[in-house]
Amino acid sequence: MSVPAPEILAAFEAAKGFMPAGEGLALYEAATEAAKLGLPLLEVGTYCGRSTILLADVARQAGTVAVTVDHHRGSEEQQPGWEYHDETVVDPEVGLMDTLPTFRRTLRKAGLEEHVIAVVGRSPQVAKVWGGQLGLVFIDGGHTDEHATNDYEGWAPKVAPGGLLVIHDVFPDPADGGQAPYRIYLRAIGSGDFEEISVTDSMRVLRRR
């Protein structure tokens, strides 16, 4: 099993974000396998860069690059009055969330800036202009049906044969969490294009046939 070096794991655990360590290790393992294709590793939904550290470290070792796609204004549940809102990432000048400065500091502290291409924009718009194949697509963006569906439809077709599609926050039981990621997971399995290769808590790793 591929595991990050202690300093990378420490940077991951110190970064602002929500991914548990166990799921982070599963993402690292998947990224390590996918990186063998020599193609970029892309995540949708960056927040402050906690998971990006893991993808960037794999990309550094494999001689490829991690690409992140996020508008950096926060997802629905991160807005004022919602459960995951964090006042420390609100831009006081405009009164809106802006996680980009924190994200950049996260990468700087981890020494991984040069291994990441940060695309600031909305996932469907970026997907429309992305022309190449990807070794890994990690979907961890907005959890409404609209956003999850857009992420799946925009990015899943760009996973190269043998590449991996990783979906976070997949909860078969509605009591455990929102259902939009679960629904796109079922759609991926039902398409016949992907086969499931691992499950770690809410993380699902699928390989493109």
Interval 16-39 mean pLDDT: 97
Query: 103 pLDDT band (50/70/90 cuts)?
Result: very high
Chain-centroid distance of CA 121 in Å reads 14
Radius of gyration of the CA atoms of the chain, in A? 16
Q: Which residue from 129, 126, 107 is spatially nearest to 59, judged by alpha carbons?
A: 107
The amino acid sitting at 32 is T
The CA-atom distances, in angstroms, between 102 and each of 3, 43, 50, 97, 191 are 25, 17, 10, 11, 37
pTM for this structure?
0.93
Query: Closest Cα partner for 2 from 49, 58, 42, 40?
Result: 58
pLDDT tens by residue, 119-145:
999 999 999 999 999 999 999 998 899
3-class secondary-structure state, position 63: coil
Per-residue CA distances from 208 to 42, 96, 131, 149 (Å) = 15, 38, 18, 18
| All domains in the chain, ordered by first residue | 6-208 (3.40.50.150)
pLDDT band for position 116 (cuts 50, 70, 90) = very high
Q: What span, in angstroms and rounded, lies between the C-alpha atoms of 73 and 118?
A: 14
Q: Which residues are catalytic?
A: 143
